[in-house]
Amino acid sequence: MSRRLFSENETERLTDRLRPDTLGQVFGTMVIVGVGLFFLSFFSLFGYVILASPQDGSPIPLPIVVLGALSWGCVVISLFSYVVWESWKLRGHLRTTEQSSQFASEDSHPYEVRQRRILFALGLGIFALLIPVAVFVGN
């Protein structure tokens, strides 16, 4: 007698989440979680400084530093993963004159919308990547 751990609907639902079509949503969720954790670590550090009033030169607690570094890494990795995934998807869409004539002049072509998303995510990823450089190098 064999027992199934997941019903057929649950298995289908789990595999649908990681299809190549839905990876953009996964990367978007990772960015949101990373930003949320980053703000949590920032406010934890702020609360530690205000409430505990550490003496000058005392080290910051390790969990706050680790949480901030991991959340930053999550944001950067997921943004660049999104750029790679979206570029891969964009490569599959060929821009033809027939497709572009289907859209009204005020509507954007899906190809152009994807290009804008890629450039925005790439710019945001580069900005997030340069934050530690600005903090540690800049005076």
Query: Which amino acid is located at 15 in the chain?
Result: T
pLDDT digit string, tens, across residues 64-73? 888 888 888 8
* pLDDT > 70? residue 129: yes
- Residue 78, Cβ density class (10 Å: 0-12 exposed, 13-18 middle, ≥19 buried): buried
**What is the pLDDT, as a whole number, of residue 128?**
87
DSSP state of 24: H
Average pLDDT over residues 19-35: 79
pLDDT tens across 84-123, in order? 888 888 877 665 444 555 555 556 677 788 888 889 999 9
pLDDT at position 43 over 50: yes
What percent of the chain has a predicted confidence (pLDDT) above 90? 4
- Tell me: pLDDT of 132 over 60: yes
Burial of residue 84 (CB within 10 Å: 0-12, 13-18, 19+) is middle
Q: To the nearest whole number, what is the mean pLDDT of the chain?
A: 76
The model's pTM is 0.65
Question: Is residue 34 within 8 Å of 71, Cβ to Cβ?
Answer: yes
Model pLDDT, residue 98:
47
If one compares 5 and 42, the residue with the highest pLDDT of the two is 42
